[in-house]
Structure 1
């Protein structure tokens, strides 16, 4: 068996995504863990990772995700809903910091682009970035579908 069985990955994904997008019930941490598990299954399937590749890939990917999440958190902290409350210098500083963080994000992607290729092929690396967007799009669509079904059903 060279890669994770696709039917098992899809079954896991179908079981976990509805749970991950529930707005009511369950704790937030549990939903996030379920969502993360679904993402792991989805990416493992889309990249067709062998067990050996998965063992080497996931620690590198998790490190990358943590760093990217931290940059995004710092970027969100710079945003303000009321720019009129800031001085011109504060606005200038915030914008410069935001640009610096975005550059750090690009630098991070460049670094991990190289690191990923040491544990997976170039085709799998290219597929990774596409698969991440696909996963996010599917999750957002499921959340939107759930919200619209709740609004329509009320």
Structure 2
């Protein structure tokens, strides 16, 4: 559960990064900042995974498909989490938790499916590097965001795993 909460917070922080930076830098448009972040992610992952040109042409459409599906599952999971359970019945809480379990299982199934699909395009060693590089990129983004004005102190604390 700890990793799911961290993942949800991390996704929120990544989505909010352009907003924080736009405020700090005097108003660059959010979409431009998102595009810059995406380009940095592509360059970082391409380098760390050591993709060849041929591999990159096959890998990136597949990876983008995977991340879109993963984002959708995470969005749906966030929508299930109420801000407070005070106004909910025990049955509603139980149903919400069960739906969360189903979505988390779907996320695991998705990761397994794309693990297999990625291996058709890149080596298993590169797939391993990909998982590590994704975490490293996220850490780097959080470090940079934490150093910007306007971010609450400690917002990136505890997300090092």
Pair in the same fold by TM > 0.5: yes
Aligned length, in residue pairs: 133
> What's the secondary structure of 2:148's corresponding residue?
helix
Cα drift, residue 34 of structure 1: 0.8
| Structure 1 match to 2:159 | none
> What's the secondary structure of 1:112's corresponding residue?
helix
| Structure 1 match to 2:37 | 35
Larger % of helix: which? 1
Cα drift, residue 23 of structure 1: 3.7
Root-mean-square deviation (Å): 1.9
| Structure 2 match to 1:4 | none
Larger Rg: 1
Structure 1: gaps of 5 or more residues? 1-18
Question: Which ranges of 4 or more aligned residues in structure 1 deviate by more than 3 Å?
Answer: 147-151
| Structure 1 match to 2:122 | 120
Larger RCO: Structure 1 or Structure 2 (Cα < 8 Å, ≥ 6 residues apart)? 2
> What's the secondary structure of 1:85's corresponding residue?
coil
Structure 2 distance, partners of 1:31, 1:98, is 31
Structure 2: gaps of 5 or more residues? 1-16, 154-161
Structure 2 distance, partners of 1:75, 1:143, is 24
| Structure 1 match to 2:21 | 22
Cα drift, residue 145 of structure 1: 1.0
Structure 2 distance, partners of 1:141, 1:45, is 20
